[in-house]
């Protein structure tokens, strides 16, 4: 009988496991901040779940703005002692959620408006480049004859 060798399945690298473990420990140590960020960054999590257009940048755009809207509340938490009850109190304030979720809304506006604008600029630039190439090709044909184009 031939011995069947087990193939090693590619698992998670140790670096990734270490990073996850470190994040979990940090989340436990800084639990009031973790709670505040989890409550305020819900729009970012939603953006990550619903974005299926490649290259999946909605969560990044929304997340950066959402994070920027959360930072003032986080700094307030740090200034006032970084306690769990203060974290809950901040999460229950309408101003905290309006600032964080409003900033996420601005992130969605940026995503839906700036991306098509930049794409349009790139298309216009490429069309101009194509016209320049065609002009150059026409000039070369005029100078060197039809055989150059083939």
Q: Hey, is 5 helix, strand or coil?
A: coil
Predicted pLDDT at 5: 58
Judging by beta carbons within 10 Å of its beta carbon (0-12, 13-18, 19+), is residue 117 exposed, middle or buried?
exposed
* pLDDT grade for 38, boundaries at 50, 70 and 90: very high
Burial 1-39 (b: 16+ CB within 10 A, else e): eeeeeeeeeeeeeeeeeeeeeeeeeeeeeeebbbbbbeb
Distances (CA, A) of 8 to 3, 12, 15, 36, 148: 15, 12, 18, 41, 58
Q: What are 65-114's pLDDT values in tens digits?
A: 999 999 999 999 999 999 999 999 999 999 999 999 999 999 999 999 98
pTM above 0.75, yes or no: no
The encoded tokens of residue 134 equal 């065609």
pLDDT band for 10, please (50, 70, 90 cuts). confident
Domain ranges of the chain: 27-113
Rounded-to-integer distance, Cα 102 and Cα 108, Å = 10
Residue 148: per-residue pLDDT: 72
């Amino acid at each position: 009988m031939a011995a069947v060798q087990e193939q090693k399945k590619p698992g998670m690298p140790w670096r990734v496991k270490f990073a996850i473990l470190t994040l979990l420990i940090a989340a436990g140590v800084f639990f009031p901040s973790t709670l505040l960020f989890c409550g305020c960054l819900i729009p970012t999590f939603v953006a990550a779940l619903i974005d299926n257009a490649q290259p999946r940048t909605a969560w990044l755009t929304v997340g950066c703005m959402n994070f920027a809207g959360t930072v003032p509340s986080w700094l307030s938490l740090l200034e006032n002692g970084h306690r769990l009850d203060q974290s809950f109190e901040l999460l229950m304030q309408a101003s905290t959620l309006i600032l964080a979720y409003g900033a996420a809304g601005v992130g969605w506006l940026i995503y839906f408006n700036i991306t098509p604008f930049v794409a349009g600029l790139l298309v216009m630039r490429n069309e101009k480049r194509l016209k320049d190439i065609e002009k150059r090709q026409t000039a070369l044909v005029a100078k060197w004859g039809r055989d150059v184009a083939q």
